[in-house]
């Protein structure tokens, strides 16, 4: 995709997200689910819905599975994004399908409770419940890759932090797409990249922070894992685009991981935007393929 085509696509994405931001949260959730059902509707995938307690969840499997893995017991535990206000396993199909296809692994995604109806720590509690469910299915923590985009990347980090504090076994690795790691919005990219990010605005981020945090301080490591002690974490792979507000969240997380002597890899994609991996473009396929190589 050349620069002109890239700008056109970014303009289209900006228009779609701009219209969605002007709708109430419930309408945003409905539109996202509709988009998920449209873009990821393929006979090449098997979607298996289930309930984890009262929580909706879904397994995604790529049926052909030409890509065979050495360890069939591995799986991907996926935390969807949406600013903790929107998103679902249905909307996340735009990424979970790509992950299953490129890795040959089953992907599990769960619908944690959303703000403002259910602020922090509801989503974290649901992530722990979903984790316990996966372990009850016979998976060992060392065979589980925890992945997530945006707020889901935040949740993946917080889940790992809590597991470590509980002296529980940690996942094999983390794969984070444009992770939201700093709810204080301290990075320079929050302002430097606002005009070029077609997906996020500072107004939307502040709305999400207000809805999710309640009385919780924005610099708490349980909502801003950038400020957590990350020692003992498993290997972490991070992707971000040069044209996204949260770019510094990824850069700063990467530096923090290295400071704590954690193996980490950061790939920055030129001209790409927030969670571009969900888009139906060649660069998204390239990015997910890189993530798959890290997972394998």
Domain, as residue range, for 227: 3-295
Cα separation, 226 vs 222, whole angstroms: 9
Provide the token pair at 295. 């997972």
Confidence (pLDDT) at 31: 84
Confidence (pLDDT) at 69: 47
pLDDT along the chain (296 residues), means of 10: 52 48 78 77 88 97 66 88 96 96 97 98 99 98 98 99 99 99 98 94 95 97 99 99 98 99 99 94 97 96
Q: Could you report the per-residue pLDDT of 237-264, keeping only the tens digit for each?
A: 999 999 999 999 999 999 999 999 999 9
Is 150 designated active site? yes
Confidence (pLDDT) at 72: 61
Q: Could you report the per-residue pLDDT of 60-103, keeping only the tens digit for each?
A: 999 875 555 444 689 999 999 999 999 999 999 999 999 999 99
Is 3 designated active site? no
CATH of the domain at 225: 3.40.50.1820
DSSP string, 169-201: PPPSEEEEES----TT--STHHHHTTTT-SS--
Among 202, 210, 84, 76, CA closest to 130: 76
Confidence (pLDDT) at 259: 98
Which residue is catalytic, options 74, 89, 150, 250? Answer: 150
Helix (H) or strand (E) holding 240, with range, is strand 236-241
User: How many independent structural domains does the chain possess?
Assistant: 1
Confidence (pLDDT) at 7: 54
- The residues near 196 (Cβ < 8 Å, ≥ 6 apart) are 10, 243, 273
Which residue is catalytic, options 88, 94, 244, 279? Answer: 244
Confidence (pLDDT) at 156: 99
């Amino acid at each position: 995709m050349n620069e002109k085509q890239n700008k056109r696509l970014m303009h289209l994405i900006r228009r779609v997200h701009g219209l969605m931001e002007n709708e109430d949260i419930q309408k945003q959730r409905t539109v996202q689910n509709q988009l998920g059902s449209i873009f990821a509707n393929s006979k090449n995938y098997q979607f298996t819905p289930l309930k984890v307690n009262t929580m909706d969840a879904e397994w995604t499997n790529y049926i052909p599975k030409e890509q065979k893995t050495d360890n069939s017991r591995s799986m991907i535990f996926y935390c969807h994004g949406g600013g903790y206000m929107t998103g679902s396993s249905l909307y996340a199909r735009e990424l979970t399908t790509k992950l299953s296809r490129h890795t040959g692994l089953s992907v599990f995604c769960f619908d944690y409770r959303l703000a403002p109806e259910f602020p922090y720590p509801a989503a974290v509690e649901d992530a722990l419940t979903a984790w316990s469910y996966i372990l009850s299915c016979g998976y060992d923590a060392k065979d589980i890759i925890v992945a997530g985009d945006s707020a889901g990347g935040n949740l993946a980090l917080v889940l790992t932090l809590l597991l470590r504090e509980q002296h529980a076994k940690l996942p094999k690795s983390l794969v984070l797409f444009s992770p939201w790691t700093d709810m204080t919005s301290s990075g320079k990219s929050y302002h430097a990249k606002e005009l070029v990010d077609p997906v996020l605005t500072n107004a939307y981020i502040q709305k999400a922070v207000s809805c999710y945090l309640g009385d919780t301080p924005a610099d708490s490591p349980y909502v801003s894992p950038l400020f957590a002690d990350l020692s003992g974490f498993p290997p972490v792979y991070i992707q971000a685009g040069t044209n996204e507000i949260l770019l510094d969240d990824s850069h700063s997380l990467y530096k923090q991981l290295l400071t704590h002597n954690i193996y980490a890899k950061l790939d920055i994609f030129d001209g790409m935007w927030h969670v571009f991996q969900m888009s139906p473009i060649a660069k998204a396929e390239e990015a997910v393929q890189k993530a798959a190589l890290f997972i394998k």
